[in-house]
Structure formats: C-alpha cells, structure tokens
Amino acid sequence: MDIGPHINKFIEDTPQADFRESSIERYSAILDMVLKGLPLGEMLHALILLIEAQKIGTRASVLLLSDDGKRLLFGAAPNLPEEYNNAINGVEIGADVGSCGAAAYTCERVIVEDIEHHPNWTKYKELPLKAGLKSCWSEPIKDSNQKVLGTFAMYYDTVKSPSELDLYLIQEAARLASLAIERSRGMHIQRLSSTIFNSLPISLVITSEDNVVLSANPVFKSLTSTYYANLNLFDVHRFLSHSKAEEVADLFEHLKRGHAWKGELKGLKTDNDIIDIALNVTVIRDTFTQQNCFAWLITDISARKNAEKIISFQTNYDQLTGLSNRKYLFETLQAMKCKNSIDGKRQEFSLMLMDIDHFKQINDTFGHDNGDLVLKLVAQRLLNTIPENVLIARIAADEFALVIPGKMCTESLISMFNNITDELKKHFIIADQDMMLSMSTGLARYPYDADNVEQILNCATQAMYSAKAHGRNCMQFFNQQIQKDAERNAELHLYLKTALIQNEFQLYYQPIVNPFTAQITKAEVLLRWIHDDQFISPDEFIPIAEESGLIVQIGEWVRMQALTSIVAMQKSDFTIPLSINVSTIEFWNTDLQHRFAAYFDVLQQQFGLDVFPYSLLTLEITESLMMSQQDSINQLLTDLRHRGMQISVDDFGTGYSSLSYLVNFPVDQIKIDKSFIQRISSGSRHKSLIEAIVSMSRALDLSIVAEGVETEAELDFIKQQNIDAVQGYYFHKPMPQEAFFDLLAKQAESIARLK
C-alpha cells in the first residue's frame, strides 16, 4: 500500500507543525515495526498509544473483521475497560450496530456524537455508558482493494463532535492499521506457505529454465542427496534416466510449450536404487525475470507399485508354482479371440491340457507337502522344456495348460509332448524315494475345434479325459468321437448317481470250475447295470464310478449283495466261496481303508450273523494296489486274511508284475489274465510264459486260476500245467443269480446221486 501521497496531503492541509512531525513519527514507527515483522497485536497496541498521545482524552480501539465477514473480534484497546472489550468481542456487524458494527457493515465512517441518544446504540448503549463512554467515531480499515479488514474507533467521555483534525487523525490511524494488518497477514501466509512447503510428505522443488534449484523442500533434498549435495542444480535427465525415452521426451515437449505434465516414471534415487514416481510438473511465469520456472512435485509410489505387483501376482499367478493361473489363462485366450475380431486376422493356437497321472495317490501316500513339492518340480521341468513363446499355467490341483501360438503341424505338437514326457521320465526324489511321473494330455486347436474360449477349453479337457481312458501317459487330439464319448460319459455319470436308489444294479455270477471234473468250486461276482432296459458295459461305467468316487458306495452294495447270496446258499445247502472285485480307489487313504474294514462288521450286524463267513469270500485286487506299498493297506489285508478271507491278484501279468510285490504283499492267489491264455496257440513263447507264472506261483505257495478258457486246446494246456481252477466261456458264461442257483442245485443233486 503506497501511503506517501496520503502523508503529504495531510501535512500540507494541516497548519500545526507539531501535528506534522508527530504524524511522520507515527508512520515511521509503524513502518519500522512492520519491517521488523513484529506481531500484529503488538503493532496495533503501539498504534493506539501513539494516537491517544496525539489526542488527549481519546481512548481508541481496533476491531478485526472475522474471516467469514460477519463479526468483529478484539484487536487492541489498552485503555478501554476489559469488561467492555469482552462484551463487544464477537459482535455481529450491521447497519444499526453501534459505531464500529455499522462502519464495518456500510464500509463508511460512522460518527456518533451522543451514544445515549443515537439510534445505532439503542440496543447497546448500556455497555458504553456504564464504562463512561459517551461518544464514538469509527473509521473502517480497508486494504488496498477496499475490502474491510476491521475498524478503528475513538471514544470520549463527553458528548463530542470531531474537528477536521480529528477526522484526519482517525483516517490516518485506519491507514496505519491497514498497513500493519495487511503486512502481518501477508507474512503469516508466507510463513504458513513455507511451513507447508517444508512439511510436505512429498518432494517439491522449483527450478529455473536452466535447472537451477530456486527452492526445495527437505523431502526433495533427502530424495536427491546423492546427486545434489550443493542443491544448486536438478539434473532432471539423469534423475529420469531409467524411464522410457518416449515418456521423458513427451514431458519436455510439454514444458517447452509452457504446458503442465503429469504421469508416472522411474526415478534414480541412487545408483542402485530405482524408484517408481508420480510426477506432476507445473509451469510458472516469473514476472521478475520474465522466464518460466518449473514446480516439480515428486511422489515416491514404489510401495504402491509393489503392492499392485503383489495383488496382480496373487490375482493372475499360482502362488505354489509361480505359473499363470486359470484366470490369467482365460483372459489371455479371450484377448487373443478379441484381437481376431478387431483386426480381422485369424490368429491360431493350440491348447494342451496336461494332468498328472495318479496324483491323488501321491498325495495320499506321501502327504500333501510332498504333493506340493511334486507340483513345483513338474512346473519347473515344463518351463525348462517348452519354447519361450508358449504360455504355461496351472489351472487346477494337478492340471497344467499350455497355449501354443500359431499354426503347428501334428508332428511338431507330438514332438513337444514327447519332449515333456522324456523330461518327466527322469526320476524325482520325493521323501527319499525315487518317483517317475507321467501325464495324460488332451489337445484342441483354435479355431478348428471350437471358436470360443469356453468351448476350446472344454474340447481340450475332453481330449485329456480320453487320454486317461486310453491308459494314461499319452496325448489325444480332440475329435468328434471324443465329443460324443464325453457327452456319453456325462450322461452316464448323471444316471449313475441314482442307479443305486433306482435298484438298477444286478449281480451276475461266473462259475470257477475244476478243469478235471468240471465241478463248480467257486464263482466270481460280476456287477451289471441295466438302465432303461439296456445293459451298460462295466468298461464304460466302472471308470466313471472310480473317477467320481461313487465306486465306494457301489463296492459296499456289491459286498452286501454277495453276503446275501452266501446266506441264501447256506440255507440251500450248496454253499461255495465267492470272489469280489475291489477297486483300488477304495484303499486310497486311511479313512477309506477304515471304512472298508468296518463295513464287514456292519454287514454282520445287519444280517444278524453270529460268525461272519470270511472263509467264503475272496477279494480280487489289482497289481496297482500292490505297487502302492502302503503299510496301512498291507495291515488291513493281513487282518482280513487272519479272519479267513483270501486275497487274489486279478488279471496278473497285465500290469507291473514284480516278484518282490508278490513276496511282500499278503496274497493267496493269482488269476492268469485271459490275454495270456488266448495266445497259447500263437507259439511256444506264450506257453513258456504261462509255465513260468505257474512255476513261480507254486514256489510262493499261491493257488492259481486261469481266466478266459474258451477252447479245447486251451483247456488241455491248462490241465497239463495241473492248474486246478478255470474260469471261462468253455464251461460257463456269467449268469444272473437265479440261473446260478439253479446250476448249483443241479450240481448238488448230481453229487448226491453219486453218493
């Protein structure tokens, strides 16, 4: 605020020389305090004392307008009663609110010569009259923009009108008060801005066009202390040297045009510490130098970026193996499909789904921790084998997916699968044991097999299940027959769930005979399923039952029906032992093993038997069960044998036959698979193989059953080997219970006649 002209005019118009000198002294005193930056209250207090000294009898006050412009607040009034100052502090302004309230409201000087009778003081006169104040002249204090800052008032203890000199004095006092208030508030804002500037939790630096640092807050100094020890220059190019070149170029192009820029870049904190930053640069025109200055607001967002990476990893990647997950795979396939739609180009790819064979047995045998280790090792071997452009994901417990971009010929895809298979054939060391894995793999090609993501996944899945059905450890390409088989399996699975409830299962019996006498000595119980008056082959529904776990309930039903047959035979006096097939699934974990053993006690209670006829039951197991080598399974079968039950190895020779398995496993009998019997006529080598099996079995004190005997030649050879139990169409086909019981009854009658 330029107060020089006001001083000169006042001095020229004032005749008293002493007033002229005192006025200059007042201006000098206030200016000196302003320049020293003294507190506002102290300056206003001094101003009032200077005015009161000039005008004897005056008691002055300064009131400040509140920030909302509605109230007057105490500023300074050293010689007014404290009670009066407290009373008017916070009074609302208005056209008829005393002298000061009206002056602040109207922005004009208000002269009240007689407080007691003036209308502005009607509601408030008791306060000043009680304090001995009878007149009040108030001048609004205005800033350089004529905005009211407050009021300067002069009180007297008599009814009094102002002289011309009084009016100049009150006007001068208001100007000096304005100077003090504006300067004080400016310095306050400056100090507040400086405090905020230095307290910002993010880096802020202001530079010239030559990168000279004009001002920098402590966070910036800490951030760049490695490079800017003297804080003279901000080497922006070096600081952003690890950012993308095109982004940095875009930044400087904006600044060159005088435009602000905002974005995320990389900042070089130290030679070994690169951070993620959010950068906001504002261009400021310096009116003093007529050059552009730049305010660089730098936020370290490394923690946020790291959190985003963690969230992204958890969302899109498998935490166990580090591979992509099902969600990421699905989104990738969707993106590839959408790209085809946008650019019109036909982007082909192959989807390979791979499932570890018998992984559940690994978990049940070695524990889930070791199962997880197997998954990680498999993932690593896959990564080591596949080309870099192939996306690999773990999309289920033991299921992996490979997305192979481009069009590949069948031979190349088979070659890739063979490479993976060879890698998996290398031994794994799990729980101090050697392990060799295989995978069942299904492959579908986009867009030939399907033209959307859901269908292509479904096609690959169907092909994978087809590979399992074809003996596992192989790859199947999707085709329409697989589609039909999958639909058939889904249909059978649905019907299988209610087959027990609907009483759709039946037991058939195939007699086992003495080849020399043709007498029935035993029978194998065979499960048959009749749905909608049609027989469903066991080759179809048994794998589905095993895959779904329904085989456990079905197996229990078979054992109950077998015991029903034994009880019925005992009542008819032609009792023979029965052999029952047992799925390996029923022994996979200890819970199922306990359930298996307990079920015989349940049957004994249900039938009200004093003694359970264990000696009339033989459990037929597969070689895969012997391979598991679980102590709990060995113990279970040993206990059943001690009760009188026999254990038979079905289809011996078709799996992984090993002499050590037979020696160490609780086995009473082996059944030579029909595939060996039916090749007898093919040459001596096949005969020699059967002779070796027979010789080995007798050495281990195991009984023998020859399966699939259908011809006279096959029977003659069996007799030559002195095998005393034969099963096959030569003698009897499988038959329902009624026909089987009739056959036993006839045999019993025949034996009775001979006696």
Residue 342 burial (CB count, 10 A):
7
Q: Please, which pLDDT band fits residue 9 given cuts at 50, 70 and 90?
A: very low
Alpha-carbon distances of 430 from 372, 376, 565, rounded to whole Å: 11, 12, 46
Q: What is the 3-state secondary structure (H, E, C) of 242-298?
A: CCCHHHHHHHHHHHHCCCCEEEEEEEEEECCEEEEEEEEEEEEEECCCCEEEEEEEE
Q: Residue range 79-96: average pLDDT? A: 92
Q: What is the CATH number of domain 317-478?
A: 3.30.70.270
* Neighbouring C-beta atoms of residue 528, cutoff 10 Å: 16
Q: Give domain limits for the chain.
A: 4-195, 200-306, 317-478, 495-754
Query: Which pLDDT belongs to residue 197?
Result: 66
Q: Bridge partners of 293?
A: 284
Residues 175/176/178/183 CA torsion (nearest 10 deg): 140
Q: pLDDT exceeding 70 applies to what percent of the chain?
A: 90
pLDDT at 442: 94
Distance between CA atoms of residues 690 and 569, nearest Å: 34
- Cα dist. 545→208, 331, 464, 588 in Å? 79, 34, 18, 15
Given the structure tokens 């069942």, which residue do they identify?
Answer: 440
pLDDT of residue 84: 92
Beta bridge partners of 648: 620, 669
Provide the whole-model pTM: 0.54
Do the domains 4-195 and 200-306 sit in the same CATH topology, yes or no? Answer: yes
Q: What is the pLDDT of residue 133?
A: 93
CATH superfamily membership of 200-306: PAS domain (3.30.450.20)
Q: Which fold has domain 4-195?
A: Beta-Lactamase (3.30.450)
- Does residue 287 carry a pLDDT above 90? no
- pLDDT of 297-348, one tens digit each? 988 888 898 988 888 888 899 999 999 999 999 998 888 877 655 555 667 8
At residue 11, the pLDDT reads: 42
**What is the largest distance, in Å, between two alpha-carbon atoms of the chain?**
167
Indicate the Cα dihedral angle 189, 192, 193, 196, nearest 10°.
-160
Neighbours of 93 (CB within 10 A): 22
Place of tokens 């640069």: 281
Residue recorded with tokens 């000043």: 128
User: Domain 495-754 belongs to what architecture?
Assistant: Alpha-Beta Barrel (3.20)
Tell me the mean pLDDT in the region 49-74.
90
* pLDDT for res 565: 94
The region of weakest confidence among 149-158, 184-193, 269-278, 487-496 is 184-193
* Alpha carbon separation from 288 to 158, 285, 293, 295, 736 (Å, rounded): 54, 9, 11, 17, 110
Name the least confident of 40-44, 160-164, 397-401, 485-489: 485-489
Task: Please count the other Cβ atoms lying within 10 Å of the Cβ belonging to residue 723.
Answer: 21
pLDDT in tens, 587-617: 877 888 888 889 898 999 999 998 999 999 9
